[in-house]
């Protein structure tokens, strides 16, 4: 099968596009999925580089334990490992696993769920990791009617879903983004948008019941100073130093929490229900073919992604030729409303 393979940590040039990779066989409790689409997360970049080094505790200290890359998947179940009870061959599913930048990947059955029928496969693939992070963040932040939530990094993969989930929970939402994304975050339901290139939310007296930090540029102490009496600061920032600082503070303050998304089928079910109810829809920024994974990761590294970028695995070869280096983003407010 075709797959993206990584044997050593380093730059994106170390990634190999191969057409001769053996198809994985599902082990006990796993399903094998023919991948229709995968999506790109900052964690994929960390896996390629092995930085932050903390991640190597999970991925392998000297070299990646598993050579596959890619974490989000949407596709069709093609075979079952022993003991699988929740799925049958032919089921269309989405979820999280390792190695989804490939034509076939195996996943634990408790980390996949029926895919939302109202989404395309690429849209479904955009949802798992970012959606579960956003959902768990909004729970930890007790987003509800009467609560005011501030999202730093609101136009990215996690942020644009957090806006929609917070709105579904009836919270008031302030989105922090740059000027070009103000229209996008408003179209997704944010009540207020703050352009961080011109304004600083800490310069105002507004207090928030939850601050979800996805970028790590405003000192944690300043964020905490802008919390309401029972407010909470939630750190989901892919930088070891920031997470360590937040973790240390969380030991002495219940108002600071570090988020580590936990992958589970029940949250995938919850996300599907939000999609079915019309409350959540991922925004696709750019689409890449499997061969274009290094380009997709380079784009992710700009930290300018609007919504999510996706990898289309089963796109016909003819169409794939145009998926390598997309010129236009789909993530403009008009596209988001469609």
**Binding residues vs ligand NAP (CB under 6 A):** 41-42, 129-130, 133, 152-153, 155-159, 176-178, 181, 196, 214-215, 217, 236-238, 259-261, 300, 303-306
* Dist CA 102 CA 266 (whole Å): 25
Nearest distance in Å: CB 131, ligand NAP: 10
- CA diameter of the chain: 59
* Dist CA 181 CA 232 (whole Å): 25
Q: Which is nearer to ligand NAP, 16 or 303 (CB)?
A: 303
Q: Reduce the DSSP state of residue 172 to 3 states and report it.
A: strand
Nearest distance in Å: CB 34, ligand NAP: 25
Residue 176 neighbours by CB distance under 10 Å: 29
Q: Which is nearer to ligand NAP, 170 or 303 (CB)?
A: 303
The beta-carbon contacts of 47-52 under 8 Å, at least 24 apart in sequence, are 47/6, 48/6, 48/9, 48/10, 48/11, 48/12, 48/14, 48/15, 48/297, 49/9, 49/10, 49/11, 50/9, 50/10, 51/9, 52/238, 52/239, 52/240
Q: Which is nearer to ligand NAP, 53 or 117 (CB)?
A: 53
Nearest distance in Å: CB 96, ligand NAP: 10
Q: Which is nearer to ligand NAP, 187 or 314 (CB)?
A: 187
Nearest distance in Å: CB 79, ligand NAP: 29
Q: Which is nearer to ligand NAP, 108 or 306 (CB)?
A: 306
* Dist CA 161 CA 74 (whole Å): 18
Peptide bond before residue 52 is cis, with ω within 30 degrees of 0:
yes
Closest residue to ligand NAP, based on beta-carbon distance: 156
In this structure, the dihedral spanned by the alpha carbons of residues 320, 322, 325 and 326, taken in order and rounded to 10 degrees, is: -110
Q: Which is nearer to ligand NAP, 64 or 159 (CB)?
A: 159
Nearest distance in Å: CB 196, ligand NAP: 4
Q: Which is nearer to ligand NAP, 32 or 261 (CB)?
A: 261
- Which residue, among 224, 130, 210, has the nearest Cα to 166 in the 3D structure? 210
Please give the structure tokens belonging to residue 336: 């988001």
Nearest distance in Å: CB 47, ligand NAP: 11
Nearest distance in Å: CB 52, ligand NAP: 9
């Amino acid at each position: 099968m075709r797959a993206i393979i990584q044997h050593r940590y380093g730059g994106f040039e170390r990634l190999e596009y191969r057409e001769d990779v053996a198809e994985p066989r599902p082990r006990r409790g796993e399903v094998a999925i023919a991948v229709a689409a995968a999506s790109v997360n900052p964690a994929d970049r960390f896996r390629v580089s092995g930085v932050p080094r903390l991640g190597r505790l999970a991925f392998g200290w000297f070299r990646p334990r598993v050579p596959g890359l890619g974490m989000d998947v949407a596709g069709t179940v093609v075979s079952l490992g022993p003991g699988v009870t929740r799925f049958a061959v032919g089921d269309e599913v989405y979820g999280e696993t390792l190695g989804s930048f490939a034509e076939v990947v195996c996943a634990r059955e408790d980390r996949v769920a029926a895919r939302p029928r109202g989404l395309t496969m690429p849209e479904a693939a955009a949802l798992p990791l970012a959606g579960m992070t956003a959902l768990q963040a909004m729970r930890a932040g007790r987003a509800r009617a009467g609560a005011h939530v501030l999202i730093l990094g609101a136009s990215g993969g996690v942020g644009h879903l957090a806006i929609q989930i917070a709105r579904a929970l009836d919270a008031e939402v302030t989105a922090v983004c740059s000027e070009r994304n103000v229209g996008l975050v408003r179209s997704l339901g944010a009540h207020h948008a703050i352009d961080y290139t011109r304004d600083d939310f800490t310069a105002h007296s507004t207090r928030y019941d939850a601050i979800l930090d996805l970028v790590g540029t405003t000192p944690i102490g300043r964020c905490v100073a802008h919390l309401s009496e029972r407010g909470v600061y939630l750190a989901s920032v892919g930088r070891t130093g920031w997470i360590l600082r937040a973790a240390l503070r969380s030991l002495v303050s219940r108002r600071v929490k570090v988020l580590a998304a936990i992958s589970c089928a029940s949250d995938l079910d919850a996300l599907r229900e939000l999609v079915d109810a019309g409350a959540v829809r991922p925004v696709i920024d750019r689409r890449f073919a499997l061969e274009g994974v290094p380009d997709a990761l380079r784009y992710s590294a700009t930290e300018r992604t609007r919504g999510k970028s996706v990898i289309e695995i089963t796109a016909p070869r003819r169409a794939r030729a145009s998926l390598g280096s997309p010129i236009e983003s789909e993530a403009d407010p008009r596209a988001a409303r469609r």
